[in-house]
Amino acid sequence: MFKILDAQFIAPNIKRFVIQAPRIARKHQPGQFVIVRLYEQGERIPLTIERSRPEQGTINIVVQSVGKTTHLLNSLQAGDSILDVVGPLGKPSEIVNFGTVVIMGGGVGTAMAYPTAAALKRAGNRVISIVGGRSKDLVILEPEMREVSDALMITTDDGSYADKGLVTDKLRQLIENGTLIDLVLAVGPIPMMRAVAEMTRKENIRTIVSLNSIMIDGTGMCGGCRVLVDGHSEFACVDGPEFDAHRVDFDVLIQRNSMYRAAEKSSMEAFQRDPSVSVEQVHREQEKACLAEGVGR
């Protein structure tokens, strides 16, 4: 059981949780993630670690409501608990002084990019960040990103905030202005990461993307998260989640991520008919787990 110490929406449908997880907080490095399971009947899903505070024994996770599990999680509050939080998983980001790096965060992906951006800044890089969202509400972590960036650019698809357009428009401007870029890190929706990859491939700019494939155990045991990289299978959970964007087959990633669409849809519909049923189930399971923990789970 992992206690939620704080939970705040930072955008509509995007919530930041502060979770007591001392072991994970102590070991977390930028680029890594956790897998959570909310209750006994719950599925296991990978989630972003936005920040860790080893001295306080806490990690922050940032969650966007997409399907049943994330909606359910985002209905939990401070004082609630999460049954299982496992991590930190995946290979950490490579943190060296590359020179000039461009960090691109799309929507909730910004939360995954943020700790890497901060570490790259500390390592002496010149950090140019481009953060985007569909609309004003979905631009997240602006102050945090500003703090770790030498320059920060913001876009919204609908122009409701900052510059109208896509994050890739800003990247194109940088390239066209002759900015020498040593590395691009892009984390966001798959179409965005693919567009970045196509743009930088022509320019021969090394580009890293963080992939969000479907996972179960997160330790390399099941192979469900396999992605096609340079024509062969790699596991996003242990070989990634970061990969060289120019070698990733994004079509296969999209196809594999759609594998359970029918089940996800029916789960979500059942959940939405009466969310309180599922929330109560989580609370009941928590009470049971608390009792069991008394005698050592």
Q: Which residues bind another protein (CB under 8 A)?
A: 23-24, 27, 37, 41-44, 68-69, 83-89, 216-224, 226, 228, 232-233, 235, 238, 249, 251-252, 255-256, 258-260, 262-264, 266-267, 270, 296-297
Whose Cβ is closer to another protein: residue 88's or residue 133's?
Answer: 88
Supply the minimum distance, in Å, between the C-beta of residue 213 and another protein: 11
Strands 2-11 vs 100-106: parallel, antiparallel or unpaired: unpaired
Looking at the DSSP bridge assignments, the partners of residue 235 are 226
Supply the minimum distance, in Å, between the C-beta of residue 236 and another protein: 12
Whose Cβ is closer to another protein: residue 86's or residue 174's?
Answer: 86
Amino acid at 177: N
Supply the minimum distance, in Å, between the C-beta of residue 105 and another protein: 25
**C-alpha R_g of the chain:** 19
Supply the minimum distance, in Å, between the C-beta of residue 232 and another protein: 8
CA distances from residue 30 to 59, 114, 122 in whole angstroms, order as listed: 12, 8, 12
What's the CA gap between 118 and 144, in Å, rounded? 9
Whose Cβ is closer to another protein: residue 69's or residue 129's?
Answer: 69
Cβ-based burial of 261 (10 A; exposed 0-12, middle 13-18, buried ≥19):
exposed
Whose Cβ is closer to another protein: residue 83's or residue 186's?
Answer: 83
**Is residue 100 within 8 Å of 126, Cβ to Cβ?**
yes
Supply the minimum distance, in Å, between the C-beta of residue 127 and another protein: 27
Supply the minimum distance, in Å, between the C-beta of residue 254 and another protein: 9
Whose Cβ is closer to another protein: residue 27's or residue 134's?
Answer: 27
- Omega of the bond prior to 88 within 30 degrees of 0, cis? yes
**Is residue 156 within 8 Å of 162, Cβ to Cβ?**
yes
- Residue 208: which residues within 8 A CB-CB, separation 6 or more? 93, 183, 184, 185, 186, 242, 243, 244, 245
**Is residue 62 within 8 Å of 138, Cβ to Cβ?**
no
Whose Cβ is closer to another protein: residue 180's or residue 221's?
Answer: 221
Whose Cβ is closer to another protein: residue 175's or residue 237's?
Answer: 237
Supply the minimum distance, in Å, between the C-beta of residue 146 and another protein: 31
